[in-house]
Amino acid sequence: MTHPHANILGTVGNTPVVRVTHNVPEDVELYVKLEAFNPMGSVKDRLALGIIEAAERDGTLKPGQTVIEATSGNTGIGLAMVCAAKGYPLVVTMAESFSVERRKLMRFLGARVILTPASEKGTGMIAKARELAEKHGWFLARQFENEAGPDIHSSTTAEEILADFGENGLDYWVSGFGTAGTMKGVARVLKARSPRTRIIAAEPDNSALLSSGVVQPFNDDGSAAASHPAFRPHLMQGWTPDFIPKLAHDVIKAGHIDEICPVPGAAALRCARDLARAEGILCGISSGATFAAALDVARRAPKGSRILAMLPDTGERYLSTPLFAEIEEAMNAEEQQIAASTPRFRFDAAPAAAAPAAPVAASAEALAEVQALISDPEEPVVLFALEWCEFCWSVRKLFAAAGIAYRSVDLDGAAYRDGDRGGAIRKALAQVTGVPTIPQIFVGGTHVGGATETFDAVNDGRLQKMLAELGHAADTTGIGNAYSFLPAWLHPRKPAPDQAA
Ligand code: PMP
């Protein structure tokens, strides 16, 4: 039964479990729980909601108070959603090494993101969050120690698993750990209500903190007192910080981990890709890693075993990372061959020239309007544009970067729609300039040209000179090649004069 939700927060949790068969031994059942179905695409939506609502209940978070947390990204994105929906300002500290997608998503959701040096690792971003919370009186979410994390997993994730598999219906449950909120919260419920389920903890094979047996020192408040000596940089963003979190320590102490499974980075990448290509399941690197561990279990498990792997997030969060390193933007040889197998719409064959359009006479009224626009001494720079055309936007970005004030005449804008005034001006413009294309740029009544001519004029300093003669400044120092303001797919073949080899 579906029902309308009061707000987005009602859609957190209840993620689907899906069977996977490719590469899986036939006599076992392997399932994945897709946490990417949470509204912000990761398992951490659960924790974000759990921490904020627990703090609201016990009064540690006051209405309108700023929330702060250190995060590898997914917690920050989840918190950004919860804070947006509930009206709390959010500040996130994050090591610069986590994917750019994460930063941008948080900022898009209204959060502020304070980057910390990668060399300071996870402990650095956590210490920064603590420092900022103390200085400004902000609510620190403390995901690595906060019991609200495991609690929400006990009350949601674990219950969902029991509902899907029944009590004692699951033989293995496989998960990695970041905070270990998932692991602590789920493992204790399964141990109590599905005691036959074996708990498998996966971790990076080159940063195997749990397997090392080396004890993690803690401060009195449960935070880690030092980096763990076995930590090495690894691929699985969101897994294994440079310390064993208190929550992970708790699971080990409780004896809830039956086996630790080390996973090589290459296996994580391969499994994420295989899940995408063979199953249509798009997931991130830690998901690929968890699946690699689950496959390892599947190969050793007795016939008839049922295995569930947690897949924490979506693959879209990794476009800038090694997961997508081999995925090209341009067409590869095979794709080019397909493109060349039919005659039209190709890059390697020029389209047949269209017959030139018969010139259409512009109205006297539109011609007068163009004249008036380009000869206004108050606004000597005039850009005749279409609102959302990429060339027009490139010129706008260039003018903004150089501090050039201009008047934009958006011919397809609502202001020019009545009686097709925009179309009439466009005809007049074509007659005045001799070119039918948009944008067209004028400075002090002089026609500079379209986007390309304008970039050339900036690159060789002519535009700056024209402006100076009119008593207007333009600061083009440091903006580089004007063509760089074009999106990559619009870059013309002609290099700018200063870049010509
Ligand atoms: N994978 C990813 C991508 C994550 O962001 C996280 C959380 N940092 C985890 C796995 C681990 O989840 P948990 O913190 O509950 O251990």
Q: What is the pLDDT of residues 441-484, one digit of tens each?
A: 999 999 999 999 999 999 999 999 999 999 988 888 888 999 99
* Nearest residue to 187 (alpha-carbon basis) of 178, 174, 203, 202: 174
pLDDT value of residue 497 = 46
* Nearest atom (ligand 1) to Cα of 312: 1
Task: Categorize the per-residue pLDDT at 167 as very low, low, confident or very high, splitting at 50, 70 and 90.
Answer: confident
Residue 67 has pLDDT above 60, yes or no: yes
Asked if 91 and 255 count as a contact pair (C-beta separation under 8 A), the reply is no
The CA 402 to ligand 1 mean position distance, Å, reads 43
Cα 452 to the center of its chain, rounded Å? 32
Task: Categorize the per-residue pLDDT at 358 as very low, low, confident or very high, splitting at 50, 70 and 90.
Answer: low
pLDDT value of residue 359 = 66
Which of 72, 152, 207, 286 for mutating ligand 1's site (highest number of atoms within 8 Å of CB)? Answer: 286
Q: Is 447 left (phi over 0), alpha (psi -120 to 50) or beta?
A: beta
pLDDT value of residue 347 = 86
Residue with CA at minimum distance from ligand 1 atom 12: 178
Q: Would you say how long the chain is, in residues?
A: 501
The CA 38 to ligand 1 mean position distance, Å, reads 13
Q: What strands lie across the sheet with 446-449, from one edge to the other?
A: 407-410, 381-385, 440-443, 446-449
CA distance 255 to 245: 16
Amino acid identity of residue 448, one-letter, is V
pLDDT value of residue 348 = 85
* Residue the block writes with tokens 């389209």: 351
Q: Is 82 left (phi over 0), alpha (psi -120 to 50) or beta?
A: alpha
The CA 366 to ligand 1 mean position distance, Å, reads 62
Q: Is the peptide bond before 439 cis (omega within 30 degrees of 0)?
A: yes
Name beta bridge partners: 270.
Answer: none
At 105-120, the pLDDT tens digits run 999 999 999 999 999 8
CA distance 40 to 8: 10
Percent of the chain scored above 70 by pLDDT? 97
CA distance 325 to 321: 6
The CA 195 to ligand 1 mean position distance, Å, reads 24
Q: What does the pLDDT average to over 129-139?
A: 97
Catalytic residues: 44, 286
Residue 102 has pLDDT above 60, yes or no: yes
Residues with CB under 6 A from ligand 1: 42-44, 72, 74, 176-183, 237-239, 284, 286, 312-313
Q: What does the pLDDT average to over 28-34?
A: 98
Task: Categorize the per-residue pLDDT at 487 as very low, low, confident or very high, splitting at 50, 70 and 90.
Answer: confident
Residue with CA at minimum distance from ligand 1 atom 2: 238
* Nearest atom (ligand 1) to Cα of 181: 15
The CA 73 to ligand 1 mean position distance, Å, reads 9
Residue 20 has pLDDT above 80, yes or no: yes
- Cα angle 282, 158, 25; round to 5: 50
At 310-347, the pLDDT tens digits run 999 999 999 999 999 999 989 999 999 999 999 999 98
Name beta bridge partners: 446.
Answer: 443
pLDDT value of residue 492 = 59
Which of 15, 33, 40, 43 for mutating ligand 1's site (highest number of atoms within 8 Å of CB)? Answer: 43
Q: Which residues contact 259 (CB under 8 A, 6 or more apart)?
A: 198, 199, 200, 201
* Nearest atom (ligand 1) to Cα of 153: 15
Structural domains of the chain, with CATH: 1-216+232-326 (3.40.50.1100), 364-485 (3.40.30.10)
Report which secondary-structure segment, H or E, holds 34. strand 29-34
Cα–Cα distance list, 16 to 33, 167, 306 (Å)? 6, 18, 16
The CA 37 to ligand 1 mean position distance, Å, reads 15
At 218-238, the pLDDT tens digits run 999 999 999 999 999 999 999
The chain-wide mean pLDDT, for the chain, equals 93
* Residue the block writes with tokens 């740029």: 441
Residue 352 has pLDDT above 50, yes or no: yes
Residue with CA at minimum distance from ligand 1 atom 8: 238
Q: What does the pLDDT average to over 132-160?
A: 97
* Nearest atom (ligand 1) to Cα of 317: 3
Report which secondary-structure segment, H or E, holds 100. helix 100-108
pLDDT value of residue 495 = 45
Q: Is the pTM of this model over 0.85?
A: yes
